[in-house]
């Protein structure tokens, strides 16, 4: 059967994986929680090391959003364990989240993490998955460019707010150039609602209305 890269809005594929925290089944292991699965090219490489430190330093922030982290590369679990030990010994940072050991490349293949034009290692991919196991966002970075973890954290925050408040999140939120930390009211879908929008919200026009984010 032909496999393809999963898409936004689809359920995260069911996978049995080996990790530094033992065997896991995804997405069931994180049922009821958000999780961020991110791949890295290889253990014991400089950019990947900076990324793992950056993710760990924000791990409590992710957990505060009821979100978990899980890494992945095509290294063996022994390599992951030794690398994590090295990071703690040399850099004083203890990596607390699990790392998938995909030495067969099976998981990487199912998730579209190996791009032949960029070599045989996994690229820097990110999958943001919601509590129902649905993929809500996907990012792909090349090996030479490290990720911005604050943006990934912002994505989880924004998606949670969009779900709970029924609003859209502007560019750069919460520091948008036009509306600051306010959020966007979904566009009107009929003439009557369009006419009422200008009265009920702050608007540039009926199709671009915004409001203060309520607690």
Is there a contact between 43 and 83 (Cβ–Cβ < 8 Å)? yes
Q: Cα separation of 40 and 61, whole Å?
A: 21
* pTM given for the model: 0.93
For the chain, the domains span: 15-147, 166-215
For residue 173, how many other CB atoms are within 10 A of its CB? 19
Under CATH, which number does the domain 166-215 receive? 3.30.1020.10
- Residue 128: strand pairing partners: 36, 137
Is there a contact between 58 and 52 (Cβ–Cβ < 8 Å)? no
Q: Return the pLDDT at 119.
A: 82
Per-10-residue mean pLDDT, the chain, length 215:
78 96 97 97 96 98 98 95 98 98 91 86 94 97 94 98 97 97 93 89 94 85
Q: Cα separation of 74 and 80, whole Å?
A: 10
- Residue 73: strand pairing partners: 101
Q: Return the pLDDT at 187.
A: 87
48 is catalytic: yes
CATH number of 15-147: 1.10.3720.10, 3.30.390.50, 3.40.50.300, 3.40.30.10? 3.40.30.10
Instruction: Detail the DSSP E strand segments found in 53-197.
Output: 67-73, 99-101, 124-129, 135-141, 183-185
Q: Cα separation of 91 and 10, whole Å?
A: 38
Look over the chain and give the mean of its residue pLDDT values, rounded to a whole number. Answer: 94
Residue among 164, 204, 206, 159 at smallest CA distance from 186: 206
Q: Return the pLDDT at 3.
A: 61
Q: Which of 26, 48, 72, 123 is catalytic?
A: 48
Strand 135-141 and strand 34-39: pairing?
unpaired
């Amino acid at each position: 059967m032909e496999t393809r890269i999963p898409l936004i809005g689809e359920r995260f594929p069911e996978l049995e994986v080996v990790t530094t925290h033992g065997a896991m089944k995804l997405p069931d292991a994180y049922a009821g929680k958000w999780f961020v699965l991110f791949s890295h090219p290889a253990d014991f490489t400089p950019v990947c090391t900076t990324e793992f430190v950056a993710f760990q330093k924000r791990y409590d922030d992710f957990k505060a959003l009821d979100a978990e982290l899980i890494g992945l590369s095509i290294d063996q679990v022994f390599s992951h364990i030794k690398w994590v030990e090295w990071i703690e010994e040399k850099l004083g940072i203890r990596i607390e989240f699990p790392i998938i050991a995909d030495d067969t490349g099976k998981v990487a293949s199912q998730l579209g993490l190996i791009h032949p034009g960029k070599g045989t290692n996994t690229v820097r991919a990110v999958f943001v998955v919601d509590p129902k196991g649905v993929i809500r966002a996907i990012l792909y970075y090349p090996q030479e460019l490290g990720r911005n973890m604050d943006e990934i954290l912002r994505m989880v925050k924004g998606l949670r707010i969009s779900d709970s408040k029924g609003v859209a999140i502007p560019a750069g939120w919460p520091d948008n150039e036009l509306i600051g930390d306010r959020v966007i009211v979904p566009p009107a879908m009929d003439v009557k609602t369009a006419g009422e929008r200008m009265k009920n919200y702050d608007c540039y026009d009926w199709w671009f209305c915004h409001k203060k984010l309520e607690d």
